[in-house]
């Protein structure tokens, strides 16, 4: 009976060792996946070219409290007054007397005015003869 307990304890120790190895392998694979995903994301990032005097739209992150899921989350346009070294952007409203405020540079995108929707050639589809 003493032999059975010792062999059971040894077998349980081996099972715990295998479980620990599986956990470490899963951790390594997760780290590898995160690194690969991060590299792909960084490779496909586009750098924003912001300049002083440029008009931009501001992302409104507090829109969740307002009803209407079809409302635009971009407000503005605002004019860039200054760009800081840490990525912050100083914005001013369309009125020159309005106070300026600082926002994160990731929350703005260039404003493109004069974008016009154009109609592409209409092609009339012929209806087949019905019998």
91 and 108 in contact (C-beta within 8 Å)?
A: yes
Cis peptide before 77, with omega less than 30 degrees from 0? yes
Domain extent listing, the chain: 1-45, 55-110
pLDDT confidence of residue 63: 57
Q: How many CA atoms lie within 13 A of 94 on its CB side?
A: 7
What pTM value is reported for the model? 0.56
**Distance (Å, rounded) from C-alpha 63 to C-alpha 75?**
11
pLDDT confidence of residue 53: 94
Q: Which residues of the chain, if any, have pLDDT below 50?
A: none
83 and 52 in contact (C-beta within 8 Å)?
A: yes
pLDDT confidence of residue 64: 63
pLDDT confidence of residue 56: 95
**Distance (Å, rounded) from C-alpha 116 to C-alpha 112?**
10
Chain segment 113-127, per-residue pLDDT in tens: 876 656 667 777 777
The dotted CATH code for 55-110 is 2.30.30
Question: Two tokens at 65?
Answer: 């409290």
55 and 81 in contact (C-beta within 8 Å)?
A: no
pLDDT confidence of residue 60: 86
58 and 76 in contact (C-beta within 8 Å)?
A: yes
**Distance (Å, rounded) from C-alpha 44 to C-alpha 60?**
24
């Amino acid at each position: 009976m003493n032999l059975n307990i010792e062999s059971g304890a040894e077998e349980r120790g081996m099972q715990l060792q295998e479980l620990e190895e599986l956990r470490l392998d899963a951790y390594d694979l997760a780290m590898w996946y995160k690194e690969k995903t991060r590299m792909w994301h960084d490779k496909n990032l586009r750098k924003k070219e912001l300049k002083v005097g440029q008009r931009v739209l501001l992302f409104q992150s507090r829109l969740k409290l307002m009803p209407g899921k079809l409302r635009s989350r971009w407000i503005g346009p605002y004019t860039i007054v200054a760009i800081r070294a840490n990525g912050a952007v100083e914005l001013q409203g369309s009125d020159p007397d309005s106070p300026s405020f600082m926002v994160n540079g990731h929350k703005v995108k260039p404003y493109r005015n004069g974008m016009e929707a154009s109609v592409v050639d209409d092609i009339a589809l012929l209806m087949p003869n019905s019998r």
